[in-house]
Amino acid sequence: MADLDGIDWDEAFKNGDYIPDGETFPDLWAQQAERFRVSAKGRLGLPYGALPEERFDLFLPEGPPKGLALFVHGGYWLAFDRSFWSHLAAGPLGHGWAVAMPGYTLAPKARIRSITRQIGRAIAAAADHVAGPICLTGHSAGGHLVSRMLCDDAPLSAPLRSRIERVVSLSGLHDLRPLLHTEMNQTLRLDVEEARAESSALHPPASQAEIIAWVGGGERPEFLRQSALLVENWGRQGANTRLVVEAERHHFDVIAGLTDPDAPLTRALVGARG
């Protein structure tokens, strides 16, 4: 790794301090999600494993689903649960896709490598409920977790992997090595071996699925670097990659397009043309 002198990695990964009223977003997300669930059609708390956190919510469109979209939440593998994000299902639902939103065990109770395996099981369980193609998206740490599903060691069966058409990593973390030098690593407990093994950008891609690294133009430089790194490294190895830098979006509102069927983000996720 390059010389770390002069780089404050804790500062590099701070988001809320650089977003106006950043501390208000979690309450806003929770309120929007709760309102959405009041009228949404779906099933909440479906199990994909034995642990309390191993549950997913499945929201259903009117009529037979065109396929399955799955969203994995962020929070540096340390915070939040699936209940904060229900409203983000609105965009894909508007195109006739079912939407699954899994929870997972947070650090320090779980290591990141264990969370990766949980998401693999969650995708498999959700896919048993919905036929057809699969599109994955996730935000921040969730962006890391969905990009891991396209790596050579992804915890997915070959038939399940073949159903994945597209992955949109929203402000994803694809090189975990810098996290070794942060205070949050006291909780994450990453070591050098795990940081490398869990870095999507350091793995060969092992899928024909399209991978879109989508990041806000107003984000911290490290998040812009991480998205560009994945696209460059995987594109060089023949993967179908694309980098989208959405102007005037920051780390907390880059997900907002998923609430709108007509937003470019939603259309990119479900492959809508025109």
Mean pLDDT for 170-187 is 97
Supply angle C-alpha 214, 220, 221, rounded to 5: 85
Q: What's the confidence (pLDDT) of residue 2?
A: 38
Per-residue pLDDT tens for 122-166?
999 999 999 999 999 999 999 999 999 999 999 999 999 999 999
How is residue 175 written in tokens?
A: 């090189």
Domain 10-270: what homologous superfamily? Alpha/Beta hydrolase fold, catalytic domain (3.40.50.1820)
Distance (Å, whole) CA 191 – CA 178: 11
pLDDT of residue 65: 98
Nearest Cα to Cα of residue 117 among 153, 82, 143, 83: 153
pLDDT digits (tens, 9 = 90+) for 239-271: 999 999 999 999 999 999 999 999 999 999 999
Q: Is the pLDDT of residue 110 over 80?
A: yes
Q: What is the pLDDT of residue 274?
A: 58
Domain locations in the chain as residue ranges: 10-270
d(CA 204, CA 150): 9
Average pLDDT, the chain: 96
**Distance between CA atoms of 68 and 18, rounded to whole angstroms?**
34
The pTM for the full model equals 0.96
Beta strands in 18-102 (DSSP E): 42-47, 55-59, 68-72, 98-102
Out of 5-19, 143-157, 170-184, least confident range: 5-19
Judged against a pLDDT cut of 50, whether residue 41 lies above it is answered with yes
- The Cα–Cα gap between 44 and 265 comes to 25
84 vs 82: CA distance, rounded Å:
6
What is the 3-class SS of 162-219, one letter each residue?
Answer: HHEEEEEEECCCCCCHHHHHCCCHHHHCCCHHHHHHCCHHHCCECCCCEEEEEEECCC
Q: What is the pLDDT of residue 3?
A: 42
- 219-239 tens-digit pLDDT: 999 999 999 999 999 999 999
Q: How large a percentage of the chain has pLDDT more than 90?
A: 95
Phi then psi for residue 43, to 5 deg, are -130, 130
DSSP H helical ranges for 53-150: 90-93, 112-129, 141-147
Answer whether 141's CB lies under 8 Å from 199's CB.
Answer: no
pLDDT at 111 exceeding the cut of 50: yes
Rounded-to-integer distance, Cα 217 and Cα 84, Å: 24
Check whether 36 has a pLDDT greater than 60.
yes
Distances (CA, A) of 16 to 19, 76, 217, 252: 5, 13, 15, 8
- Which of 245, 206, 240 lies closest to 225 in space, CA to CA? 245
